[in-house]
């Protein structure tokens, strides 16, 4: 019998059957034996066999001796040699083991599902597939993770009935889920009765890839304000206002929002100003939309004003920036500063440099100086 065909239930049945065969030979009725003796002998054997089977299954018995010559049939603790009654329950013996700080784990009674190796139903398999692809998406795992032997071994331990897929099938499942979500978003947008507005921003990642975000804002039929990220558009062309306007218009057409567009809010970059004006012209020409307007972010306007004002004390800010950079990049100086703060009983504040695109970073840098 192979490992995959091993069945503890059947094995126990075979063991019991063998024992019964031996008992048949020992249970022969003698010619001179009375009926009462026969019944007594058979009842005693059945009782003894039942007791042996019930006790042999508990992990408690590996810590007790039941075949002691001085106390036959009585459990004797292997650690302290305490003798118990023959009918002492395993719960009592387990509590005794607690005194010796010995743990006898309880054996979980297995159900028929523990021995099943057949695949899940299509519905159950899909639920598990959805869990896998959700993890891949949220954790940004590569498609090839589903072909990793160690990963498959781990999942098989948790669920032997799960059937694995290759990376191509996993990719198709993820794309199907994306298309389903996209359809749901389109249906949701189709139910918006009023106008919608947008916010947009362009940024460049550390690997020089550029992206344009577009977020939708609206009031639903229950008069609740809603917003969500509508799209992140990869940008491989020049970051001109016209190119950004064309990219946004394509998204508006795809989701049927061109006729519902009310406003677009962006930062004060010159390309974004051109983008806003371009969208206004396109929507007026294509949809007679005369209410669309482009707004400049008030927070960005305030940041520009503050940045301009800081130039009046720019010489002092530059000195603080150089000092922070020196402390931050020098381990001996940084460690000496920590030691000094400890001696003076002063809270140590890690040095911080300002970043141009993080509007409050200059304030935080000066606040730690």
Which CATH entry fits the domain spanning 193-296: 3.40.50, 3.30.420, 2.30.30, 1.10.3470?
A: 3.30.420
For the cut 60, the answer to whether the pLDDT of residue 52 exceeds it is: no
pLDDT digits (tens, 9 = 90+) for 188-219: 999 998 999 999 999 888 788 899 999 999 99
Q: H or E element: which one contains 353?
A: none
Q: What's the pLDDT score for residue 57?
A: 66
Cα 168 to Cα 83: distance, rounded to the nearest angstrom: 65
Residue 147 has pLDDT above 90, yes or no: yes
Q: Which two tokens stand for residue 204?
A: 């460049």
- Give CA–CA dist 257/103, Å, rounded: 67
Q: Each residue of 249-283: pLDDT tens digit?
A: 999 999 999 889 999 999 988 999 999 999 999 99
Q: What is the pTM of this model?
A: 0.58
- pLDDT tens-digit series, residues 15-45: 443 444 444 444 555 555 555 565 565 555 5
CA distance 273 to 63: 82
- Contact by Cβ (8 Å): 266, 296: yes
State the chain's mean pLDDT as an integer: 83
């Amino acid at each position: 019998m192979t490992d995959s065909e091993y069945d503890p239930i059947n094995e126990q049945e075979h063991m019991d059957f063998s024992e019964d065969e031996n008992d048949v030979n020992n249970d022969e009725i003698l010619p001179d034996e009375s009926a009462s003796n026969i019944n007594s002998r058979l009842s005693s054997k059945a009782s003894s066999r039942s007791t042996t089977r019930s006790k042999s299954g508990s992990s408690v018995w590996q810590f007790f001796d039941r075949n002691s010559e001085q106390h036959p049939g009585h459990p004797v603790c292997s650690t302290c040699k305490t003798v118990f009654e023959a009918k002492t329950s395993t719960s009592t013996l387990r509590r005794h083991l607690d005194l010796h700080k010995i743990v006898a784990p309880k054996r979980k009674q297995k159900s028929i599902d523990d021995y099943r190796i057949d695949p899940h139903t299509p519905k159950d398999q899909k639920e598990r597939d959805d869990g896998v692809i959700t993890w891949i998406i949220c954790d940004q795992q590569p498609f090839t993770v589903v072909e990793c032997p160690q990963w498959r071994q781990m999942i098989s331990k948790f669920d032997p009935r799960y059937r694995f897929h290759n990376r191509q099938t996993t990719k198709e499942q993820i794309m199907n889920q994306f298309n389903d979500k996209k359809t749901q978003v389109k249906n949701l947008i189709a139910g918006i009765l009023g106008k919608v507005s947008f916010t947009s921003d362009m940024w460049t990642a550390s690997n020089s890839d550029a992206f344009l975000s577009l977020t939708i804002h609206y009031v639903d039929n229950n008069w609740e304000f809603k917003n969500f990220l509508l799209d992140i558009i990869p940008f491989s062309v020049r970051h001109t206002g016209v190119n950004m306007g064309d990219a946004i218009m394509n998204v508006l057409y795809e989701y049927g929002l061109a006729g519902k567009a009310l406003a677009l809010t962006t930062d004060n970059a010159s390309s974004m100003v051109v983008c806003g004006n371009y969208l206004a012209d396109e929507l007026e020409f294509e949809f007679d939309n005369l209410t669309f307007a482009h707004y400049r972010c008030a927070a960005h306007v305030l940041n520009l004003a503050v940045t301009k004002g800081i130039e009046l004390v720019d010489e002092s800010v530059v000195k603080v920036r150089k000092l922070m950079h020196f402390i931050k990049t020098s381990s001996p100086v940084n460690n000496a500063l920590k030691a000094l703060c400890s001696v003076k009983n002063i809270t140590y504040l890690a040095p911080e440099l300002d970043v141009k695109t993080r509007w409050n970073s200059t304030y935080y840098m000066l606040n730690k100086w």
